Amino acid sequence: MPAYPEFGTADQVELDAAAIFQITRHLHDQFPRSAGGILLGMELEGTIEVTETFPLPPSASEGDGSNLRSKAILEYQSQMIEQLKQVGSDTQIQGWYVSSSLGAIYEQSFLDNMFFYQQQNRDAVMIVHDVAMSRETSTLVLKAFRLSQQYLSARRENKFTTESLETNNLDFHDLLEELPIRVHNSCLTNLLSTQNSQQVPTLKQLEVPNRTLVENNIEDILDSIDDFNYDQNNYNYYQRQLIREKQKVHAWQQRRRAENAALEAAGKPTQSVEEWKVLFKLPEEPSRLDNLLISAQLHEYCEQIEELAAVASTNLVAPKF
Amino acid sequence: MTTLQTARPPVQTGRQAVQYPTKVTIDARALFQIMSHALRRKPDQPRVIGTLVGTRSDDGNEVEVKSAYIVPIDESEDQVDINIEYHKEMFQLVRRVNPESVILGWYATSTKLDNLSALIHDFYSQEHGTYPHPAVYVTVPTTEVSDIEVRSFISSPIRLPGDVGLGNCIFLPIQNEVVYTDTDNSAMTVVNKAASSRMRNAEVFSDIANLDQTIAELIESIDKVQTYVRKVLNGKSEASVAVGKYLYRTLTLLPMLSNLTIEELYESYLENVLAVVHLTQAVKTQLELTSELTPLV
């Protein structure tokens, strides 16, 4: 019986400069293949400090995320941690990092992996680096997430029915909880940074977002909407089924009552009205998790477009002043 | 008279002549790794050393250091113990992520070039190191009071006639360069931001302030060019043909557009942007509605 994760108390993530370079370079080198790795560090007074990272072999992140928890990968992980322990690294697993493309982060496998790590360490986080976005906009798109308290309690009951979503107060906004990330420099890094301060400025930030970027983003939205409709149709089908069955039950109950009235008049014992539960089977509500995921993803895409648009409009308007 | 021989020849190892590398490029990632390794130095340890992993060009002329890992060593006055098992295992693990990686040599977090360095270098040139290729040695000063200046060396054996001892070599400096890719530059922006704060921290996000700074930088560069051009026109400064040609080329690349056309282009782009935003907001509203209404049914 797996232990269910308690909810972490940390409220921010702090990355070492070396960790940032390792994460971004690894993921960029692998792009467009998705890749991932492990974050090591410790939790200190509400801050998750990531001081060391290591990449996982490519097979780890291909296909569905279950591979990340496969035996070979876990073995690799523990070997690597054993090695790093000998040279004085932090060895507590603080979660994992993974690449994403244009904000696609709401995947079932991501949630499953996250659940796995949060089971082991309640303060585990997932760091998502949006490679495509970072490339296009020349900025560092790095975000930290963990599963929300609401999702964890819904998952504990292992059902995602409307009712359980209601009681756990879970809607698509709060599947994941975002934590702020900050970078922390060692004195050495600071020295290097001040030394190189006369770097060539990157003017790429001034460009208005590439048209293809926005186009791809809109295509993603359209795909998501299709998924959403498909899921919604399923749900509507379920609802129609449910109503039909309920009508049948109702009709049956009416008949029963009428019979009962007749029996009563004749002075005979009445029959139970509740027997319908044996005779009829109400359709089971499909899991609402897909719907949550798709909604959250769609929402994320929209946010992203708005963000791009914000950049675009400021870039367009700012030079006028 | 005793003669001292130093050599940088293609050394014969087996049948094939081996080319010594003449240039080392070091990924920013590897440099940052080495610098964070430097922090793990134990008080009684003079320096941290480790293995450099990366790729070697086909002709062996250039090597590119992509990452580095620490190797535990025990250094005393006149001898050094390298944990060979550790080194071998770690390399196997690294290779599973990047099968094309090879061992390139080693690094140390101090600039020392002493007898022990020669012994370590000897180890790295052998079977568990870069053999049959020569090893490179990269130093990153972190214990000295100095700038962080990365230097790379290869070794050349020197020998007094009749001497057969190990660890006699001379370290020859070779050209090296730390490379920042676009990705590294965007990461560096954040690191630079942290460097200028007192707590050495910075939040990771992109914002208007960024844009502001970039525009300021752009204006500054244009000013610089303008001052230079004026100076040349006034005869106060020497005209450089190279700069002139470069400026001319850059200017001819600009499309000739009237202000009005530019304005129009801006407007139409802005309209498109706003239309897209409008649509996404409609989608978001629909989403909210679904999520609120479904439980009611």
**Same domain, residue pair A17 and A152:** yes
Among residues A152, A170, A202, the one where a domain terminates is A202
**Domain presence at residue A45:** yes
pLDDT of residue A268: 79
Distance to chain B for A217, nearest Cα, Å: 11
Work out the mean pLDDT of chain B and round it to a whole number.
83
Nearest CA in chain A to B201: A184
More confident residue, B171 or B19: B171
Among residues A202, A237, A271, the one where a domain terminates is A202
Under DSSP, is residue A91 helix (H, G, I), strand (E, B) or coil?
Answer: coil
**Same domain, residue pair A167 and A252:** no
More confident residue, A98 or B293: A98
**Same domain, residue pair A228 and A188:** no
Separation between Cα atoms, residue A131 and residue B182, nearest integer Å: 12
pLDDT of residue B265: 82
CB-CB under 8 Å, A28 with B203: no
**Domain presence at residue A212:** no
Tell me the residue ranges of DSSP E strands in chain A.
12-16, 36-44, 47-55, 92-100, 125-130, 142-147, 176-179, 181-184
**Same domain, residue pair A138 and A271:** no
Q: Which of A206-215, B83-92, B218-227 has the lowest mean pLDDT?
A: A206-215
Separation between Cα atoms, residue A249 and residue B235, nearest integer Å: 100
pLDDT of residue B10: 47
The residue written with tokens 């990968």 in the block is A73
- Taking only the tens place, the pLDDT of each residue in A205-262 is 666 666 778 888 888 889 989 999 999 898 889 889 989 988 988 888 888 888 888 8
CB-CB under 8 Å, A18 with B35: yes
Residue B88 has pLDDT above 50, yes or no: yes
**Domain presence at residue A210:** no
Measured between beta carbons, the chain B residues lying within 8 angstroms of A172 are 287, 291
Q: Report the top-level CATH class of B15-183.
A: alpha beta
Of A57, A171, A205, the CB nearest to B211: A205
**Same domain, residue pair A50 and A184:** yes
- Taking only the tens place, the pLDDT of each residue in B248-287 is 888 888 777 788 887 888 888 888 888 888 888 898 898 8
Phi then psi for residue B57, to 5 deg, are -70, 160
CB-CB under 8 Å, B181 with A17: no
**Same domain, residue pair A257 and A161:** no
**Same domain, residue pair A123 and A250:** no
Q: Is A232 on the interface with B (CB under 8 A)?
A: yes
Host domain of residue A253 = 222-320
Nearest CA in chain B to A22: B29
**Same domain, residue pair A130 and A255:** no
pLDDT of residue A90: 86
More confident residue, A266 or B89: B89
**Same domain, residue pair A170 and A285:** no
**Which positions ≥6 away from A217 have C-beta within 8 Å?**
A102, A103, A301, A304, A305, A308
**Same domain, residue pair A245 and A302:** yes
**Same domain, residue pair A38 and A179:** yes
State how many domains chain A has: 2
Which residues of chain A are modeled with pLDDT < 50?
A: 1, 60-61, 63-66
| pLDDT grade for B15, boundaries at 50, 70 and 90 | very low
- Taking only the tens place, the pLDDT of each residue in B100-154 is 999 999 999 988 888 888 888 888 988 888 888 889 999 998 877 778 889 999 9
**Same domain, residue pair A195 and A234:** no
Q: Are B33 and B48 in contact (CB under 8 A)?
A: no
ipTM given for this complex: 0.81
Structural Rg of chain A based on CA atoms: 26
Of A58, A195, A214, the CB nearest to B276: A214
